[in-house]
Amino acid sequence: MPPLFSSPPALRRRRLLHAAAFALVLAAVALFLLLSPFDGSATPPPSSYGHRLPTLVDLTLVHGAREKGAVCLDGTPPAYHWLPGFGHGSDKWLLHLEGGSWCRNLTWCDHRKTTSLGSSSYMERAEFVGILSDDEFQNPDFYNWNKVKIRYCDGASFSGNVQDEHQYGASFFFRGQRIWEAVMSELLPKGLARAKQAFLTGCSAGGLSTYIHCDDFRALLPKDSIVKCLADGGFFLDVEDISGRRYMRSFYNDVAHLQDLRKRFPGCSSDMEPGQCFFPQEVAKGITTPMFILNPAYDVWQIEHVLSPDGSDPQSLWQNCRMDITKCNAKQLEILQGFRKSLLDAISEFKKKRDWGMFIDSCFIHCQSMKSLAWHSPSASRINNKTVAEAVGDWFFDRREVKEIDCEYPCNPTCYNVVLERPFDEE
């Protein structure tokens, strides 16, 4: 017996065609969403962008550090986080030096003593993301290496070594160099001394630390080990700010005087101010270990603190531009292009070094190796279709020469440009 409500053949065919067409539209939309790259104007995907959440790594206090005088600003022991490697990465090590600006006087240092940037009492577990991630999708070249995040609590990029304890109504310890040595002494017997490949990295003030300690790191490891360094967002410029002052040089002069840093840089010319010796352009001149310079041409932190610091803009004309590069007017963009040129001029001598690499994108961001979105994701900036992670990996493993210099803003549509909701102070 035929169905009670059978459709005519022509009507059935139309319904089947409509259903097939609808299915094709859904498939096309799904494919578009899967393949379309995110740009900086879109709402970014979650930090895991479809992969698992970051690994949390416990804090380890450095054993016997107090006895060596290797302590944070407040006298507490320094600390690090270690995520052991596995598989073919078990004999390879990646160390990352934490950033977080500097303290230029005792008032600033006293404030840091009540934070993780001056005391291990305030340090907690750390999320390992970006170059520290153990997710192969987020960190394809280094995911299974031993990875160590070294906490920053001395206020001068691991470079001070003042013997006496400062007493100004409270105690202050300026022992960054000793912290570096104590952490290395603890990691070497844990396997670092037998590393086949080793990579010292750092971002911001930790990027400056990487320039300072790159050759020291090389000297600790076997001669047949492959050892390289990467400084991310750490090439701070000695330039005039928008008011015509050299604010950053004055800032570094204060740090250098406070922590007696002149002796840390004996190769620095005697006719230079002590703060000048602290700039990466000077520190990097003596480095012999292969180094990778990772820097945005429009570094968010530097735009706010080097180019337009407090006091340089009494009418707050730069306030919107400092928070969002799309809000910069034509005159401000002209000044930003001049700032970019200063960076390119400063790194030009290092571009000539055959075994050095660089990735200078035209993005408004800071510390790209420590952001999963910026390091290697669908929304990561690209130069010549390579993410930062791919470019760094190509350089480290000698797959190709990497000296990538991006065109001027706003030329790169892949840039993930941050928009700040408040001033960018510290890491």
Domain positions in the chain: 55-248+289-405
Question: Among 135, 154, 299, 361, which one carries the catalytic annotation?
Answer: 299
Per residue, the 3-state secondary structure of 258-295, as one string, reads HCCCHHHCCCCCCCCCHHHHHCHHHHHHHCCCCEEEEE
Band of residue 425 on the pLDDT scale cut at 50, 70, 90: low
CA angle (167 as vertex; 165, 173 as ends), nearest 5 = 35
Give me the mean pLDDT over the 312-332 stretch.
Answer: 97
Q: Answer yes or no: 313 catalytic.
A: no
Alpha-carbon distance of 231 to 234, in angstroms, equals 6
* Helix, strand, or coil (residue 193): helix
Tokens 């030329």 correspond to what residue?
411
CA angle (274 as vertex; 102, 200 as ends), nearest 5 = 50
Domain 55-248+289-405 adopts which CATH fold? Rossmann fold (3.40.50)
pLDDT at 5: 35
Q: Answer yes or no: 425 catalytic.
A: no
| pLDDT tens figures, 189-230 | 999 999 999 999 999 999 999 999 999 999 999 999 999 999
| pLDDT tens figures, 263-283 | 898 778 888 999 999 999 999
Alpha-carbon distance of 105 to 248, in angstroms, equals 14
Spatial neighbors of 361 by CB under 8 A, at least 6 apart, are: 296, 297, 368, 381, 383, 388, 404, 406, 412, 415
Question: Among 120, 159, 204, 369, which one carries the catalytic annotation?
Answer: 204
Of the candidates 394, 215, 388, 241, which has an alpha carbon nearest to the alpha carbon of residue 306?
A: 241
| pLDDT tens figures, 360-413 | 999 999 999 999 999 999 999 999 999 999 999 999 999 999 999 999 999 999
Question: Among 213, 305, 366, 376, which one carries the catalytic annotation?
Answer: 366
Per cent of the chain over pLDDT 90 is 81
pLDDT of residue 9 exceeding 70, the answer is no
Band of residue 112 on the pLDDT scale cut at 50, 70, 90: very high
pLDDT at 33: 36
Give me the mean pLDDT over the 282-291 stretch.
Answer: 96
Contact 233, 368 (CB under 8 A): yes
Q: Answer yes or no: 58 catalytic.
A: no
pLDDT of residue 176 exceeding 60, the answer is yes
